[in-house]
Amino acid sequence: MLVHKAIVGLALGGLIAVIVLSLVLHVILGDGTFADIQRFAIAGLLQVITMLVIVRLITNPPPRKALTWARAMAGAVLVSGLALLAFGSVPHEFLSFAGSGLHWDRRDLIMIDLPALPFDISRQAVRDIAVAGLYTNSFAGALGLWIMWQRRREMAEEQVQAREGERVPVAVGTSAFGRPVARQG
């Protein structure tokens, strides 16, 4: 279970790091106004908040209630909104910000003159690599959330056992159907 939580944590941390790095780059390289980066920052923060809400619902499930159409539709809207933010809005807003706010296009080259490895790379290539990282990061986070959702009952049972001090009922015998019986009837 810890692996899935680590994947989701890395996805959230990566998204937050991209937002903070973009803010820093905009202040250092840009004109200092936040009009260009505002939509990207808001979309990224909405994605982070949505992922945190889903993680909260997975790790602390409400008491067992019957699944109704309303609950199922609310979950579907939440997941669809996360997918729309992760795979649509956030990468698009980053591309718009990098093109207009940071002015990264083909003409600007980043020259690295290391003795063993001299090369030039355009800022547009760096922008595209960052967007590919956003997509990969979002997919890894979604995959971790999906696995956690599938195992949410097991996680809830583990939490209950941890709260009860590892009290496990001792089987007294077997029933007529071959199943263990916790107590004699």
pLDDT at 115: 76
Look at the block and give the residue holding tokens 């093109």. Answer: 99
Residues 37-55, mean pLDDT to the nearest whole number: 86
DSSP letters along 41-88, please?
HHHHHHHHHHHHHHHHHHHSPPSP----HHHHHHHHHHHHHHHHIIII
**The one-letter amino acid at 171:** A
In a 10 Å sphere around its CB, with 0-12 CB exposed, 13-18 middle and 19+ buried, how is residue 94 labelled?
buried
Tell whether pTM > 0.85.
Answer: no
pLDDT at 184: 59
Could you tell me where the beta strands, DSSP code E, fall in the chain? Answer: 109-113, 118-122, 173-174, 180-181
CA angle 47–82–152, rounded 5-degree value: 105
pLDDT, one tens digit per residue, over 58-109 is: 877 666 777 788 988 988 898 899 999 999 999 999 898 888 877 777 666 7
Residues 24-46, mean pLDDT to the nearest whole number: 76
| Strand, helix or coil for residue 117 | coil
| Strand, helix or coil for residue 13 | helix
pLDDT at 168: 54
Residue 51: CB partners within 8 Å, gap ≥ 6? 8, 11, 12, 82, 141, 145
